[in-house]
Amino acid sequence: MSDFGRVESPGSIDSMTGDTTALHKLLDLAPVTSELDGEFFQRNEIVRHGPIRYEQRKNADNQPIVGIKRLRAESYCNAGREIRTIATCDGSLGQPTLCRAVSITVVLPAWHKSGCLRGVEIRRLIGNNQELFRPIHGASFVFKQVAVVGATGAVGRIMLQLLAQRQLPVQQYRFLASARSAGKSLEFDGKTYQLEELTEKAFIGCDLVIASTPDDVAQKYLPAAVEAGATVIDESGYWRMKPDIPLVIPEVNPQAALITHGIIASPNCSTTQMVVALKPLHDAATLRRVIVSSYQAVSGAGLQGTVDLLEGTKAQLAGGDYKYTTFAHPIAFNLIPQIGSFKEDGYTSEELKMVYETRKIMGLPNLAVNATCVRVPVANCHSETITVETERPISPDEARSLFSSFPGIIVVDDPARGRYPMPADCTGRDEVFVGRIRRDLSNPNGLSFWCVSDNLRKGAATNAIQIAELLAAHRFGYRR
């Protein structure tokens, strides 16, 4: 946790040295290096702490020395779906802090300021020593300096809209771009900024970097951002499948984002919308197999993809020629059953992303996934037909109810009245839309449905901003 967060996050409570007898007593009950976890407080919400990680050693005088490594208390609201971090503590960026008297920073969000939960859990945790807690009321910023890399691309532009709309509490923004664009001006949230050149040194002073760049740029520059002390949210494909890099969809595996201060990858757009839809089905009935076909909009290929569709369509209607720059074949009045390059077994890189990223995010390394990805002449929003097989049958009614109660999913499913999700209706929306929910007639444990989402939003920019909000909530108790 940065000093900035410790001192200035809203409604924070900073506990410093005090009598730690009670804490020692509590820790004495557990093995020497351990994690405690579990529910220990219940009101309208279920609140649990955990993990608290600590090390206990003896000093030369045989006195116990306790180092808190990490403490997090969370409340699980809304049937366990909404996780709010209500208290965090971090000893020197996760290193055990060994000291005679324990120093803990606890951050409580503003909404708990006057609430009866305040301090209660922690008092119980460390044993009724209120002296350990002294409230500090501070400024309302959670991130000191946020750099956005690739702000002028198709995803970057949406990212700027979302950052302005959602007002993540950031003290200062910077916008980094290639040498070619550096110096140009950029409008953001009513102010004019100058694009700065993306270099390895440019990240100095940043605590958060949100990047949407080609893979080679992400590979080259993002390690320097981590080196400079920033947490990085990366939209590129380069880091996603690296074993130590979390691949995160906040509705699905938020906990993965909280274990690093380095790079957090955001998944490929076609994977993200599918996995959001798969998660409630898996939680209810355990997935065995997923078969997906995608109908992917040209905006997924970047700004030039959209130009190609519009100009190619105009040219074809006028009986002329158009030289496509993004697609290997005409996309106007056509479908292209290839997204990315061909890899093993006749699958494309996009199809394999859907397989491997899904397994990684869901923590199901053996999940059977088969994907066919097709580029369609649609401006924006990817659509997918998804058929799942689960351990037990899920009826369409149960699926509707599971989808409806999952955060970020909207069910539009009234075929009799011609109501189902369509790209034209979902563009500009942050949710994943599902409809055409029906039994798989070929398999008693099968279910088929249709899924549409804005690939530039939930498929990219929205997911990245949600990860930033998740970090803000976790580290500083920030809540939108």
**Positions marked active-site:** 269, 382
Binders of ligand 2RA in range 361-380 (CB under 6 A): none
Asked if 236 touches ligand 2RA (CB under 6 A), the answer is no
DSSP letter at 231? E
Written as six digits, the tokens of 82 are 């909404």
How would DSSP label each residue in 96-158? Answer: ---BSS--EEEE--GGGTTSTTTTHHHHHHH-S-GGG-EEE---S-SEEEEEEESTTSHHHHH
Among 106, 222, 275, 339, binds ligand 2RA (CB under 6 A): 339
Q: Closer to ligand 2RA by CB, 104 or 159: give it.
A: 159
**Pick from 298, 306, 277: nearest CA to 382:** 298
Site size for ligand 2RA (CB under 6 A): 9
At a CB cut-off of 8 Å and minimum separation 6, what does 429 contact?
410, 453, 454, 457, 458
Among 9, 15, 145, 268, binds ligand 2RA (CB under 6 A): 268
Asked if 272 touches ligand 2RA (CB under 6 A), the answer is no
Binders of ligand 2RA in range 163-202 (CB under 6 A): none
Of all residues in this chain, which one has the CB nearest to ligand 2RA in the complex? 300
- Cβ-contact 81, 407 below 8 angstroms: yes
- First-to-final CA distance of the chain: 20
Asked if 270 touches ligand 2RA (CB under 6 A), the answer is yes
Collapsed DSSP state (helix, strand, coil) of residue 210: strand
Asked if 306 touches ligand 2RA (CB under 6 A), the answer is no
Asked if 300 touches ligand 2RA (CB under 6 A), the answer is yes
Q: Closer to ligand 2RA by CB, 1 or 252: give it.
A: 252
- Cβ-contact 10, 130 below 8 angstroms: no
Query: Which helix H or strand E contains 185, and what residues bound it?
Result: strand 185-188
**Minimal distance, residue 464 CB to ligand 2RA, in Å:** 13
Written as six digits, the tokens of 311 are 């100009």
**113 phi, psi to nearest 5 deg:** -55, -50
**Minimal distance, residue 383 CB to ligand 2RA, in Å:** 12
Asked if 301 touches ligand 2RA (CB under 6 A), the answer is yes
**Minimal distance, residue 87 CB to ligand 2RA, in Å:** 37
**Minimal distance, residue 268 CB to ligand 2RA, in Å:** 5
**372 phi, psi to nearest 5 deg:** -130, 120
**Minimal distance, residue 426 CB to ligand 2RA, in Å:** 15
Q: Closer to ligand 2RA by CB, 36 or 307: give it.
A: 307
Q: Closer to ligand 2RA by CB, 270 or 383: give it.
A: 270
Q: Which residues here bind ligand 2RA, judged by CB under 6 A? A: 268-270, 296, 300-301, 339, 350, 455
